[in-house]
Amino acid sequence: MSGSATIQVCHVLREDRDLAEAVDPAHREQAIEECTARELTIPTGRWSSLQATRVPGGLGLLVLRGVMIRRVGISGRHGAELLGECDVLRPWQPENESLLPLTTSWWVLEPAHLAVLDDQFARLLARYPELAGRLFARAVERSRNLAINMAIVHQARVDVRLHMLLWHLAGRWGRVRSDGTVLPLRLTHTVLADLVAARRPTVTTALSELSRRGLVRSLDDRWVLYGEPPRAMLEMSSGPWRGDATAGPTARRA
């Protein structure tokens, strides 16, 4: 069923404190009050009402809360990208001029709250140019994450791909506890199969193997990771989800 969005107004920098911190402290409170935008709330499920969220002349949609997945398919095989807090989306923007028969779909895994950064919000960037730099840094970080995902799916063994993917996601969404690192995401075996470019039954078998080895455990609507990140994961990325203080949230200690 298609997700039906509801609309209200929000103070973008109040919702996104990382974005607010980009503004000079002398002007920060003023920026927080002035930078308002329409806020879309989208329930879980397939999100197909993209035409209604088009913002010509604007920047795009800023994810304030929630988790989404973008699936791209060619001849029945899919790749996927997991998106969430701090990401900027432009779902109406056409795909690159590919000669391949691409299909694209969006799914909301956890209820999403999106700020509509329209042309009115874009004009505020002339007053607070630091915001433009922070948003651009996030776009660059998203492309870097895709490159890491590509490196992960090139691993030969599916259990290795899954182990590395879960640790990679934990760098962004994870919570470190005394008994392990908790990844509080509802990631079904089907979603994980898209993210690691494998068949769902193969993913189920690989997860069972990781659980048997005491590396990963599924607990209610979250995953628990034990031990340290795989060495290859550490070699691919010098740190967790972001490489500096300009991109977004990182794993936190609970």
Q: What is the pTM of this model?
A: 0.83
**What number of H helices and E strands is found in the chain?**
9, 12
> CA-CA distances (angstroms) from residue 100 to 48, 91, 93, 97?
22, 19, 17, 9
Does residue 120 share a domain with residue 42? yes
Q: Please tell me whether residues 194 and 90 are part of one structural domain.
A: no
Q: What is the pLDDT of residues 153-209, one digit of tens each?
A: 999 999 999 999 999 999 999 999 988 999 999 999 999 999 999 999 999 999 999
Q: Name the band, by pLDDT with cuts 50, 70 and 90, for residue 3.
A: low
* Among candidate residues 151, 175, 209, the one where a domain is terminated: 151
CA angle 40, 42, 43 (to 5 degrees): 155
Q: Is 1 a domain residue?
A: no
Kindly state whether residue 144 falls inside one of the protein's structural domains. Answer: yes
Q: At what angle do helices 129-153 and 158-173 cross, to 10 degrees?
A: 160
| pLDDT tier, 236 (very low <50, low <70, confident <90, very high otherwise) | low
Count CB-CB contacts under 10 A for residue 234.
12
Give the end of a domain, one of 116, 151, 186.
Answer: 151
Share of the chain above pLDDT 90, in %: 68
Q: Could you give the C-alpha distances from 188 to 77, 181, 193, in angstroms and in order?
A: 18, 18, 9
Same domain, 108 and 182: no
Report the pLDDT averaged over residues 25-51.
Answer: 89
**Mean pLDDT across 99-111:** 87
- The DSSP call for residue 30 is H
Total count of domains within the chain:
2
Which domain-ending residue is among 151, 184, 201? 151
**Domain shared by 122 and 20, yes or no:** yes
Residue 121 structural domain: 6-151
Same domain, 103 and 175: no
pLDDT at position 241 is 37
Residue 251: closest CA among 243, 240, 237: 240
CA separation for the pair 127, 147 (Å, rounded): 33
Look up residue 83 and give its amino acid: L
Residue 151 has pLDDT above 50, yes or no: yes
Per-residue model confidence (pLDDT) at position 249:
41
Mean pLDDT of the chain: 86
The C-alpha angle 96, 50, 221, rounded to 5 degrees, equals 100
**What pLDDT, on a 0 to 100 scale, did the predictor assign at position 49?**
54
Check residues 141 and 2 and name the one with the higher pLDDT. Answer: 141
59 and 108 fall within a common domain: yes
1 pLDDT more than 90:
no
37 in any annotated domain? yes
Report pLDDT for 233: 64
Helix or strand holding residue 74 (H, E): strand 60-74
Do 169 and 187 reside in the same domain of the chain? yes
Query: What's the pLDDT score for residue 10?
Result: 94
Share of the chain above pLDDT 70, in %: 85
Handedness of CA 217, 84, 113, 181 (dihedral sign): positive
User: What secondary structure does DSSP assign to 207-237, as a single string?
Assistant: HHHHHHTTSEEEETTEEEE-S---HHHHHH-
For residues 138 and 162, membership in a common domain is answered with no
Do 91 and 200 reside in the same domain of the chain? no
pLDDT value at position 52? 53
Are residue 37 and residue 71 in the same domain, yes or no?
A: yes
- The verdict on residue 172 lying in a domain is yes
